Chain A
Amino acid sequence: MRKVVLIPMILAFVGAFFALTQQDQPLDPFEEAMKQREQYLKTFGILPGDLFASQGEELFHTKRGPAGKSLEECDFGLGPGQLEGAYPYLPRYFADDGKVEDLETRIVSCMQRIQGFKPQEINRDDVVALTTFVASKSSKAKMQVVPKHPAELAMYNLGKQLWYTRAGPRDMSCAVCHDDHAGKRVRLSPVMSPQQGLGSEWPAYRFEEDRMYTFENRIQFCYASVGIPAPAFYSEPQIALTTYILAEATKAGHSFQELPFFTR
């Protein structure tokens, strides 16, 4: 309980601290994030992401929903309740509902199938906390997204198609920034390609946004920033782009960062 109370307190503190570090000479964004991270650890002895993970842990083991069950029966691909090392294999095909799901979609489908929630009863904040918790069990793990099942291959191909789609009022596609200009900066933010390890940071606490971000949140953020209305959570474009990015990063041999990550 104590930990849960800490979240709003830490979040209130953020604005003030962020303002303090604005300088004439812009700091490298990566160094800036590391400084902020150190400050959190010094002040609170814990990072915001870890608070979300422990909130998720509590939710995971609590009997909830019309069926009054916990999520311990949820199979993330390595067997029911097997959380350790499950995240790096997602998105993957699940035979029980015949769908390719990323971590957050899998959590939602388990909340429906096991706990009996209706889709509209599912609280996004709960899904974010649960996603943070499950992913934290694969901190620094090697990525393992290798599409094999026909449904996984279809998802990968859809993701690839969307990756190259030029659209919207700024004529953008993911590829023109994240392939063709990878290694360059947008303002001060360096842009990576999947081959350089794009996608290794999520879920992460973003101190500039003052929120926990999942992979789907991050995709939505890039779409919105180029003027394209973002695809809905748990939709096929989200799962497809996640599959494509992580499959390409897997081929290049990347691992996840410390999860949950702390970033700008």
Chain B
Amino acid sequence: MMRPRLKQAGWIAALALLGLASSQSDPLKAAVATGGAQYAQVILDQDEGQRLCTQYQSQLPGELIPKFIEAQKALIRYPANGKLLGDWQNGEKVFTDPKRGNCYACHQGDPKQLAYGTMGPSLANYGARGTSEPILRYTYEKIYNSWAFVPCSLMYRGGVHGLFTPEETADLVAFLVDANSPLNRR
């Protein structure tokens, strides 16, 4: 009974100390800790990309862009079978699922779906670009890590964060480019 409570108290004390110790140099840490341990953990545990996008308010200076893009490209993983074009029907599920793609939050997709967001460009008729290797590769990499093309974009790096797997990314590609996908039917 005593143990976990002590442990928790110790942790909170450690966090508070951390806050106090760094409060001269970094008032952010101390203040964020008052929001709770879980909140502080996520806010303070940024990766390098998030840190740069925060520092420059999502407008990276030009000279930082090539290195940034290189670092983001290096985070992209591919399906074990090497196929960038998967199953559009499963892709539709991932696209729609609020816990995975949640793409309708920002994009128009199937023209029949009217509850779509407008923060991103419409993806209806995306298949008009064809299914050449460069198109498949761009689409795959863009969905897996949007920041490898547009640094600090609003569009999150779903593959990098594991919101969907490399295989599911290939399914999303199929949902965008397959001629039978409702995105491309007219």
Interface residues of A (CB under 8 A from B): 25-26, 154, 158, 161-162, 164-173, 175-177, 180-181, 184-188, 191, 223, 228-232, 235-238, 240
Chain B 12-53 near chain A by CB (<8 Å), digits 1 or 0: 000000000000000110011011101101110110011001
Closest-CB distance, A208 to chain B (whole angstroms): 13
Residues of chain B within 8 A (CB-CB) of A167 are: 42-43, 45-46, 50, 54
In the bound complex, do residue A186 and residue B34 qualify as a contact, i.e. CB atoms below 8 Å apart? Answer: no
Interface residues of B in 49-75 (CB under 8 A from A): 49-50, 53-54, 57-58
- Min CB–CB distance A218 → chain B (angstroms): 15
Q: How far is the CA of A164 from the CA of B152 in the complex (A)?
A: 11
Task: Report the separation of the CA atoms of residues A35 and B157 in the bound assembly, to the nearest whole angstrom.
Answer: 38
Q: Are B114 and A186 in contact (CB under 8 A)?
A: no
Can you give 23 A-B contacts (C-beta < 8 A)? A154-B27, A161-B28, A162-B32, A164-B58, A165-B54, A166-B53, A169-B156, A169-B162, A170-B156, A171-B50, A173-B54, A173-B58, A175-B57, A177-B154, A185-B118, A186-B117, A188-B117, A223-B39, A228-B39, A228-B43, A229-B36, A229-B42, A237-B39
List, in ascending order, chain B residues with CB within 8 A of A171's CB: 49-50, 53, 147, 156-157, 161
Residues on A with C-beta less than 8 A from B154 are 176-177, 180-181
Nearest Cβ on chain B to A194's Cβ, whole angstroms? 15
A161-B31 Cα distance, complex, nearest whole Å: 11
Question: Are the C-beta atoms of B27 and A238 separated by less than 8 Å?
Answer: no
Contact of B34 among A169, A228, A235 (CB under 8 A): A235
Given contacts A164-B54, A236-B34, contact A188 B42 (CB under 8 A): no
Q: A26-B115, A171-B157 are in contact. Are A231 and B39 (CB under 8 A)?
A: yes
Query: A171–B46 Cα gap in the complex (Å)?
Result: 9
**A170 nearest in chain B by CB position:** B156
Expressed in whole angstroms, the Cα–Cα distance for A82 and B116 within the complex equals 46
9 more CB-based (< 8 A) A-B contacts, given A166-B152, A169-B162, A177-B119: A166-B58, A167-B43, A170-B163, A176-B154, A229-B38, A231-B36, A232-B39, A237-B31, A237-B35
Top 6 closest pairs, chain A to chain B, by CB: A231-B35, A229-B38, A236-B31, A237-B35, A171-B156, A170-B156
Bound Cα distance from A26 to B152, whole angstroms: 32
- Is B124 at the interface (CB under 8 A from chain A)? no
CB interface residues, B 95-125, toward A, < 8 Å:
104-106, 114-119
A185 in contact with B117 given A165-B43, A175-B57, A175-B58 (CB within 8 Å)? yes
Total B residues in contact with A, Cβ cutoff 8 Å: 37
Given A165-B43, A232-B34: A181 and B116 interface contact (C-beta under 8 Å): no
* Most chain B CB atoms below 10 A, which of A154, A186, A230: A186
> A158 contacts B28, CB within 8 Å?
yes
Task: Contact check, B42 vs A228: say whether CB atoms are below 8 A apart.
Answer: yes
Cβ contacts under 8 Å, B38 to chain A: 229
| Residue picked from B42, B45, B157, most chain A C-beta under 10 Å | B42
What is the CA–CA distance of A231 and B31 in the complex, to the nearest angstrom? Answer: 11
Q: Are B35's CB and A236's CB within 8 A?
A: yes
Expressed in whole angstroms, the minimum distance between the Cβ of A170 and any Cβ of chain B is: 4
For B106, list chain A residues within 8 Å (CB).
186
Asked if B46 and A166 make an inter-chain contact with CB atoms under 8 angstroms apart, the answer reads: yes
Assess A237 versus B32: contact at CB under 8 Å? Given A158-B27, A188-B115, A228-B43: yes
B31 touches A229 (CB 8 A): no
Contact check, B54 vs A180: say whether CB atoms are below 8 A apart: no
In the complex, what distance in Å separates the CA atom of A168 from the CA atom of B46? 8
Q: Using Cβ atoms and an 8 Å threshold, which residues of chain B touch A187?
A: 104-105, 115-117
